[in-house]
């Protein structure tokens, strides 16, 4: 396989694209020089408003205050459903592909409308009102989309909790947002395995006194406990619900949803997005980044529990009247050709997935891909972590047959939509680089002292100015919003990533520079994993770092100090890993666990993670300055017993 550093825009991509290179440049320039005029025009083009705005944007990073289109009125579910009905009632809105092959189903915009209206009425009948928070803990079935849109219709604020999260995680999220209603399913099915969703919710709400309703969608019909005083059978409630629900008139700045994400410290943050700016940004990026055209079959493999599922399975595509594929399963079930089979079966044109999946499938050889007919594919995308050039080339050549642009999209839960990417018809690709800023996005690179660097450089990635899809606050904690994103470098939004910029102004994302791990594209806070480990009575202290992992990008490496007199053995190793899985979900489970009689600390008691990272990576030449350590000999012992050599 030839690894080329640059791929110019192909003639095919040029012919298809909404924008030429020149048009991208012009539009980008206008978006930076006259942002209000630019965003007004886009807002009118992409979104149906009930009432126009008083002011396009009002942003003050020094106070962490961000507003877009304030005074404007709209309803997001109307933008995703009702306005398409005159022309698209019969068009498929959602293709559902179940865990078992052969279980797919098409949902038209008409059916989507009926289901969402009824579901909205079910929520109302349980007392849910505008502004109330609703927790959604569901498998990847169409009802998760109905639930989100039903909330949007009545102005309730959804908080989707990933179906792989544990009871503890559901509980903390329900309590933090004070949700009184939870929507779940009896069980989930992924890769042939049953996930006890309702059981997990039961255990979580046992400690949430304010939850008065748990709405349960039947997915498997499996045995679950039933508590008549709070459990609601979804099917029965839907049968009794009225067919039409008047959409709530929402202000552009009213909350649309909360989505929890891990930070470097403390408990997960409730990232809050609002109606107007978010839906505009999701719709606009979906159209340009994926070069979306009417009639495309579009598939994003994310889960609804992550921001990618919010913006690019549901909100963005549905706002554009697209056909979006919802996949319940995993790439390796029943075998590792599942993705390619689904692409062939549904004639998918645009495919968006994560580098970790690409690496895992690449390792299984080309044959599984080649036996499927992938000629429907026109464009490929990746998201979630940096993609290594080998994986990029495999994706481009073997999956895309050298014929589909690859968009490497850099963004975050906090940004609502893609900020940096190449656009398929207007900028060439460099494997491993995310590329250029989207409209209205002004990245900069700072050195450690906060000075902006010019030209080719490497440092901390920040954004100057705002864009409509930006988060508005940390739910219930505006101070934390300011502290996390705006306090380090006043006047900038600090993304938490390191990046370099090359001579062509392409951005290359290096990865997190804080204590956040990116494991298979999932953001994990090291602090959360450490807190879970020290819950065990035999553990006195723990420190968690990441190390390079071939498939997952990063793996979880835990250093564990036991209480005096305790011995680490294989049984305790297993027990501790299981404890983390129970507390946080299985993907947070340490891959490697090293017994550490003591951890390297500064005299003020701070754990020197830099050194722990180096030891975990087996990079011993450069352990750096250990002289400030309280006990430098702790390091020798850790090096001696390291797990990767």
Spatial contact of 143 and 168, defined as CB atoms under 8 Å apart: no
What gap in Å lies between CA 397 and CA 403, rounded to an integer? Answer: 8
Candidate ranges 88-96, 198-206, 315-323, 411-419; the one touching ligand 6R9 (CB under 6 A): 411-419
Is 306 annotated to bind a ligand? Reply is no
What gap in Å lies between CA 394 and CA 400, rounded to an integer? Answer: 9
Closest distance to ligand 6R9 from the beta carbon of 618 (Å) = 23
Residue 411 binds ligand 6R9, judged by CB under 6 A = yes
Which of residues 77, 121, 413, 484 is near ligand 6R9 by CB under 6 A?
A: 413
Is 190 annotated to bind a ligand? Reply is yes
Spatial contact of 612 and 560, defined as CB atoms under 8 Å apart: no
Candidate ranges 198-206, 216-224, 303-311, 628-636; the one touching ligand 6R9 (CB under 6 A): 303-311
Is 131 annotated to bind a ligand? Reply is no
Is 409 annotated to bind a ligand? Reply is yes
Residue 262 binds ligand 6R9, judged by CB under 6 A = no
Select 251 or 497, whichever has its Cβ closest to ligand 6R9.
Answer: 497
Select 121 or 518, whichever has its Cβ closest to ligand 6R9.
Answer: 518
Tokens of 177: 């947002």
Closest distance to ligand 6R9 from the beta carbon of 384 (Å) = 4
Q: Which of 257, 293, 299 lies closest to 275, judged by CA?
A: 257
What gap in Å lies between CA 459 and CA 463, rounded to an integer? Answer: 13
Q: Which of residues 166-195 bind ligand 6R9 (CB under 6 A)?
A: none
Closest distance to ligand 6R9 from the beta carbon of 155 (Å) = 25
Closest distance to ligand 6R9 from the beta carbon of 154 (Å) = 27
Which of residues 518, 554, 588, 596 is near ligand 6R9 by CB under 6 A?
A: 518
Strand-strand pairing, 406-409 and 420-421: unpaired
Is the previous residue joined to 297 through a cis bond, with omega within 30 degrees of 0?
A: no
Which of residues 496, 553, 555, 585 is near ligand 6R9 by CB under 6 A?
A: 496
Residue 518's alpha-carbon distances to 166, 296, 515, 547, in angstroms, are 19, 31, 10, 10
Candidate ranges 275-283, 365-373, 462-470, 491-499; the one touching ligand 6R9 (CB under 6 A): 491-499
Q: What is the 3-state secondary structure (H, E, C) of 113-132?
A: HHHHHHHHHHHHHCCCCCCC
Select 237 or 289, whichever has its Cβ closest to ligand 6R9.
Answer: 289
Closest distance to ligand 6R9 from the beta carbon of 140 (Å) = 17
Select 512 or 601, whichever has its Cβ closest to ligand 6R9.
Answer: 512
Residue 515 binds ligand 6R9, judged by CB under 6 A = no
Is 239 annotated to bind a ligand? Reply is no
Which of residues 153, 286, 430, 523 is near ligand 6R9 by CB under 6 A?
A: 523
Closest distance to ligand 6R9 from the beta carbon of 627 (Å) = 32
Is 536 annotated to bind a ligand? Reply is yes
Which of residues 214, 383, 474, 533 is near ligand 6R9 by CB under 6 A?
A: 383
Residue 497 binds ligand 6R9, judged by CB under 6 A = yes
Determine the longest span between alpha carbons in the chain, in angstroms: 74
Please name the helix (run of DSSP H) or strand (run of DSSP E) that holds residue 276, with its range, or none. helix 275-289
3-state SS assignment for residue 197 = helix
Candidate ranges 114-122, 189-197, 290-298, 381-389; the one touching ligand 6R9 (CB under 6 A): 381-389
Is 412 annotated to bind a ligand? Reply is yes
What gap in Å lies between CA 217 and CA 138, rounded to an integer? Answer: 9
Residue 434 binds ligand 6R9, judged by CB under 6 A = yes
DSSP conformation letters of 208-274: -TT--EEEEE-SS-------TTTEEEHHHHHHHS-S--PPPPEETTSEEEEEEE--SSSSPEEEEEE
Quickly count: other Cβ atoms within 10 Å of residue 22's Cβ. Answer: 9
Residue 512 binds ligand 6R9, judged by CB under 6 A = yes
Select 286 or 512, whichever has its Cβ closest to ligand 6R9.
Answer: 512
Candidate ranges 61-69, 116-124, 363-371, 377-385; the one touching ligand 6R9 (CB under 6 A): 377-385
> Crossing angle, helix 609-616 and helix 633-640, to 10 degrees?
20
H helix runs in 17-53, sequence order: 21-33, 35-46
Which of residues 17, 57, 187, 261 is near ligand 6R9 by CB under 6 A?
A: 261
Of how many residues is the chain composed?
A: 645
What gap in Å lies between CA 455 and CA 175, rounded to an integer? Answer: 47
Which of residues 159, 285, 308, 353 is near ligand 6R9 by CB under 6 A?
A: 308
DSSP conformation letters of 514-562: SSEEEETTEEEEHHHHHHHHTTSTTEEEEEEEEEEETTTEEEEEEEEEE
Select 184 or 412, whichever has its Cβ closest to ligand 6R9.
Answer: 412
Is 523 annotated to bind a ligand? Reply is yes
Q: Which of 101, 97, 149, 92 lies closest to 123, judged by CA?
A: 149
From the annotation, which residues make up the binding site? 190-193, 308, 384-386, 408-413, 497, 512, 520, 523, 534, 536, 539
Query: Binding site for Mg(2+), residues?
Result: 534, 536, 539
User: Which residues sit at the interface with ligand 6R9, rule CB under 6 A?
Assistant: 261, 306-308, 383-386, 408-413, 434, 495-497, 509, 511-512, 518, 523
Tell me the binding residues for ATP: 384-386, 408-413, 497, 512, 523
Q: Show binding-site residues for CoA.
A: 190-193, 308, 520
């Amino acid at each position: 396989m030839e690894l080329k550093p640059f791929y110019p825009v192909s003639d095919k991509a040029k012919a298809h694209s909404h924008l030429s290179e020149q048009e991208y440049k012009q539009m980008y320039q206008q978006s930076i020089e006259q942002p209000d005029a630019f965003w007004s025009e886009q807002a009118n083009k992409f979104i149906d408003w009930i009432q126009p705005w008083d002011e396009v944007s009002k942003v003050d990073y020094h106070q962490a205050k961000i507003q877009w289109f304030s005074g404007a009125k709209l309803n997001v579910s109307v933008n995703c459903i009702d306005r398409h009905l005159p022309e698209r009632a019969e068009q498929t809105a959602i293709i559902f592909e179940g865990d078992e092959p052969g279980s797919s189903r098409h949902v038209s915009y008409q059916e989507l409308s009926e289901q969402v209206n009824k579901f909205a009425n079910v929520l109302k009948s349980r007392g849910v009102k505008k502004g109330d928070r609703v927790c959604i803990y569901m498998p990847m079935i169409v009802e998760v989309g109905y639930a989100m849109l039903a909330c949007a219709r009545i102005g309730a604020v959804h908080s989707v909790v990933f179906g792989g999260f544990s009871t503890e995680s559901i509980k903390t999220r329900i309590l933090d947002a004070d949700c009184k209603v939870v929507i779940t399913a009896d069980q989930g099915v992924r890769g042939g395995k049953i996930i006890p969703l309702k059981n997990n919710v039961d255990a979580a709400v046992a400690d949430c006194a304010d939850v008065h309703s748990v709405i349960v969608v039947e997915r498997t019909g499996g045995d679950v406990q039933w508590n008549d005083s709070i459990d609601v059978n979804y099917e029965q409630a839907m049968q009794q619900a009225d067919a039409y629900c008047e959409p709530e008139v929402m202000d552009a700045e009213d909350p649309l949803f909360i989505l929890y994400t891990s930070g470097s410290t403390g408990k997960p943050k409730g990232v809050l997005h609002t109606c107007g700016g978010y839906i505009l940004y999701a719709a606009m990026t979906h159209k340009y980044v994926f070069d979306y055209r009417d009639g495309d079959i579009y598939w994003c493999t994310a889960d609804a529990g992550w921001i990618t599922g919010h913006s690019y399975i549901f909100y963005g595509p549905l706002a554009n009247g697209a056909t979006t594929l919802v996949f319940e399963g995993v790439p390796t079930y029943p075998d590792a050709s599942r993705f390619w089979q689904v692409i062939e079966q549904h004639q998918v044109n645009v495919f968006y997935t994560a580098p970790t999946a690409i690496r895992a499938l690449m390792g299984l050889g080309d044959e599984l891909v080649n036996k499927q007919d992938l000629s429907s594919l026109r464009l490929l995308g990746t998201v979630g972590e940096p993609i290594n050039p080998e994986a990029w080339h495999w994706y481009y050549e073997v999956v895309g047959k050298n014929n589909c642009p690859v968009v490497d999209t850099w963004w975050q839960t906090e940004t609502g939509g893609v900020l940096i990417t190449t656009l398929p018809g207007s900028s060439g690709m460099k494997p491993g680089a995310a590329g250029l800023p989207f409209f209205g996005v002004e990245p900069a690179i700072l050195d450690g002292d906060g000075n902006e660097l010019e030209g080719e450089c490497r440092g901390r990635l920040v954004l100057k100015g705002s864009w409509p899809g930006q988060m508005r606050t940390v739910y219930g904690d505006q101070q934390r919003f300011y502290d996390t994103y705006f306090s380090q470098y006043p006047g900038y939004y600090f993304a938490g990533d390191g990046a370099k910029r090359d001579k062509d102004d392409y951005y290359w994302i290096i990865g997190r520079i804080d204590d956040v791990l990116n494991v298979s594209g999932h953001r994990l806070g090291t602090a959360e994993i450490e807190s879970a480990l020290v819950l065990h009575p035999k553990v006195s202290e723990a420190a968690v770092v990441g190390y390079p992992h071939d498939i997952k990008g990063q793996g979880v490496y835990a250093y564990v100090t036991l209480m005096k007199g305790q011995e680490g053995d294989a049984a305790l190793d297993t027990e501790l890993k299981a404890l983390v899985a129970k507390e946080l979900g299985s993907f947070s489970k340490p891959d490697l666990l090293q017994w550490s009689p003591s951890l390297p600390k500064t005299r003020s008691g701070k754990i020197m993670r830099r050194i722990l990272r180096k030891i975990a990576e087996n990079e011993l030449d450069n352990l750096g300055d250990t002289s400030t350590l309280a006990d430098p000999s702790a390091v020798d012992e850790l090096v001696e017993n390291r797990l990767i050599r």
